[in-house]
Amino acid sequence: MDTGTHVVMGLALGGLATLDPAVTANHATASSVLIGTIVGSQIPDIDTILKLRNNAVYIRNHRGVTHSIPAVLLWPLAILAVVYPFFPDANLLHLWMWTFLAVFIHVFVDIFNAYGTQALRPFSRKWVALGVINTFDPFIFGIHVLGIFIWAGGNHPGPIFLSIYAVILLYYIARFIAKRKVMAELKKIVPDATEVIIAPTMKFHQWRIAAMNKDQFFVGVAKNNVVTILDRFKRIPVPETPVIAAAKKDKNLSAFLSFSPVYRWEVDEFDDSSYEVRFIDLRYRSNGYYPFVAVVQLDKNLNIITSYTGWIFSEEKLRKKLDILPG
């Protein structure tokens, strides 16, 4: 989920904790638990600072080790080590329990996004992505904000957020049902699909679709359970040419390939015998453009000149990122 949603979920868990007698019986416990749930709901995303290095490092590592099983166990202990000295009278067990719950829920809800997490590490490096909830879901964020306002109005937060999480549970079930209906409609159009990715959007009845069979890629959308195929591309295996082999050594392209499961590729040769290799993720079509790419430019000796991976919404901006205009 996005940062804002994790923040309001941390506050909500702090409010839900008021149903715990050990929390309400002690002011130090109540205060420390609120801090623990807010920090715990944020701490797995500390790897966002990797953006300061470059996109390749961020793409390879975001929601990786910081969302793993060992991290879920260690983050609460790290938070306790900082928070507990300020609240020595707090109930340590219950402070740990609610902080752990905040960390666990952060990782758990991220699994339902299309991006997913490597939550099964160290047992598996596979990305777990159920793809039923958008990274920012207006309903989930809005109902949390509503609960916080009701709490601020002087009402007991425990029953408020208990009711809200019951509603959210039903919402998740509805999203799974909606995705299943889209899958059934897509199978009517591409019955021989070998892989299908159905990704949520901020709109409940709208989904992004990327699918493939042995011959083609299909990119489309679903609105109100009506599937529309917008683009079709011939599925051509990536060739083992010297140009492609040299480009694959680049850190940006390597990061892209570790993250993207459905993509097409292009190779352009310019007049000065330089090359540009481009890989295009087919999952994120937006207004006829595919913004998530990896581009590598090489000279005539196949040395890497420059490269980029990330989100680009125009060719002009891509050229600025590469800082090179082709001849």
Q: Tokens standing for 233?
A: 């591309």
Question: Is residue 46 in some structural domain?
Answer: yes
Give the C-alpha separation, 261 to 326, whole Å.
28
Give the C-alpha separation, 63 to 312, whole Å.
22
Give the C-alpha separation, 210 to 42, whole Å.
31
Phi, psi of 194 (to 5 degrees): -95, -20
**Pair 247, 206 in one domain:** no
Q: What's the confidence (pLDDT) of residue 327?
A: 40
pLDDT in tens, 248-275: 999 999 999 988 889 999 999 988 789 9
**Pair 80, 106 in one domain:** yes
Domain hosting 130: range is 3-136
List average pLDDT for each run of 10 residues in the chain, which is 327 residues long: 96 97 96 98 93 85 92 97 97 98 97 92 91 96 98 96 98 97 97 95 95 96 96 94 96 92 93 90 90 94 93 84 60
pLDDT in tens, 192-201: 999 999 999 9
Question: Is residue 152 in some structural domain?
Answer: no
Q: Tokens standing for 207?
A: 């989904």
**Pair 226, 252 in one domain:** no
Domains in the chain: how many in total?
3
Q: What's the confidence (pLDDT) of residue 326?
A: 44
Question: Is residue 178 in some structural domain?
Answer: no
If one counts every other C-beta atom within 10 angstroms of the C-beta of residue 110, the result is 22
**Pair 223, 246 in one domain:** no
**Pair 105, 51 in one domain:** yes
**Pair 216, 295 in one domain:** no
Give the C-alpha separation, 259 to 127, whole Å.
9
Q: Is the dihedral of CA 62, 65, 69, 70 positive or negative?
A: negative
Give the C-alpha separation, 1 to 117, whole Å.
11
Which among 100, 116, 136 is the end of a domain?
136
Distances in whole angstroms, Cα of residue 285 to Cα of each of 209, 231, 238: 9, 9, 21
**Pair 254, 229 in one domain:** no
If one counts every other C-beta atom within 10 angstroms of the C-beta of residue 20, the result is 17
Residues 6+ apart with CB under 8 A from 186: 193, 196, 198, 209, 211, 220, 222, 227
DSSP characters for 204-267? TTEEEEEEE-SSEEEEEEEETTEEEEEEEEE--PPP--HHHHHHTTSHHHHHHHHH-SSEEEEE
Give the C-alpha separation, 218 to 210, whole Å.
6
Question: Is residue 223 in some structural domain?
Answer: yes
Q: State the maximum Cα–Cα separation within the chain, in Å, rounded to a whole number.
A: 76
Distances in whole angstroms, Cα of residue 110 to Cα of each of 68, 134, 184: 12, 10, 25
Question: Is residue 148 in some structural domain?
Answer: no
Question: Is residue 146 in some structural domain?
Answer: no
> Closest by alpha carbon to 290, among 236, 216, 203, 231?
231
**Pair 204, 246 in one domain:** no
Phi, psi of 9 (to 5 degrees): -70, -35
The terminus-to-terminus CA distance of the chain in angstroms comes to 42
With beta carbons less than 8 A apart as the criterion, state whether 172 and 36 touch: no
**Pair 269, 218 in one domain:** no
**Pair 213, 278 in one domain:** no
Which among 211, 233, 255 is the end of a domain?
233
> Closest by alpha carbon to 189, among 231, 232, 230, 227?
227
Helix ranges, the chain (H): 3-16, 21-24, 27-40, 55-61, 69-83, 92-110, 138-152, 157-189, 242-247, 251-259, 315-322
**Pair 201, 295 in one domain:** no
**Pair 59, 110 in one domain:** yes
Question: Is residue 127 in some structural domain?
Answer: yes
Question: Is residue 145 in some structural domain?
Answer: no
